[in-house]
Each structure stands twice: as C-alpha cells, then as structure tokens.
Amino acid sequence: MTAATVQDQIRELVTSHDVVLFMKGTKQMPQCGFSSRVAGVLNYMGVDYVDVNVLADPEMRQGIKDFSDWPTIPQLYVKGEFVGGCDIVTEMTLSGELDQLFDAKGVRYDRARAEEIRKANA
C-alpha cells in the first residue's frame, strides 16, 4: 500500500464515521494503557465509535501519525476533526469539554455516565 493510499483510507475512515479511535488493540481488548483509558471512557459513556487497531497494520500505524502530525497513539477523531490523544481526552472528559464537543457535533453519549467519571475523579 502506498502512503497516499493509507492517507486516503484514513481520510475515508474519519469522514465517514462520527467517532473514530486509532488505538493499539481493539475496544474490547486494548493492548496499551493509554488506548485502554480512552476506549474505557468512550465505552463507559456509551459512545458509538469505530476502533482501528494500528498494531494490525504497520502502514496504518505510521500513516495516522503522519496524517495528524501527532506522534503518539491513541488518536481520537470526532466528525473528521482530530481531538487528541490520551492526556487531552482525559483532560477534556474531566473538564466537561468532551461533553460540549459531543453536544456541538451531535454525537450521542450518556451524560450521566460522563458525570460519574467526573465525580469519581474529583
């Protein structure tokens, strides 16, 4: 696969799905702590998202880093927009900014579950 083809594949994924998480492993079986944390937040909040296991495809693993110009995995995209990695998603979850982003973009999630995460980490 050429670099252009990988970039096209990534572009297609992030524009054709509301929420996409490029991660190590899968949402059912994350393969690193950072991916596990972000998948755990999305799973707990009931967000419908597509998981892309970068460990299964080395070209995709490098391709997503090039696509976003972000050096680490996981990477979260909402409605085609790069949101960030584990630290940013964690911070946004705890501050309520992730809820605001989901509201603004029309992404369904369980608001009560988001509040539970904040209460547990207060």
This prediction's pTM = 0.95
Question: Which residues line the annotated binding site for [2Fe-2S] cluster?
Answer: 32
Which residues touch 116 (CB under 8 Å, ≥6 apart)?
A: 44
In 3D space, the residue among 21, 103, 99 whose CA is nearest the CA of residue 64 turns out to be 21
At 29-56, the pLDDT tens digits run 999 999 999 999 999 999 999 999 999 9
Domain spans of the chain, in order of start:
3-120
Average pLDDT over residues 72-90: 97
Question: Which residues line the annotated binding site?
Answer: 32
Average pLDDT over residues 98-107: 98
**Phi and psi (nearest 5°) for 35?**
-65, -40
Q: Does domain 3-120 have CATH number 3.40.30.10?
A: yes
For residue 1, what pLDDT is reported?
Answer: 61
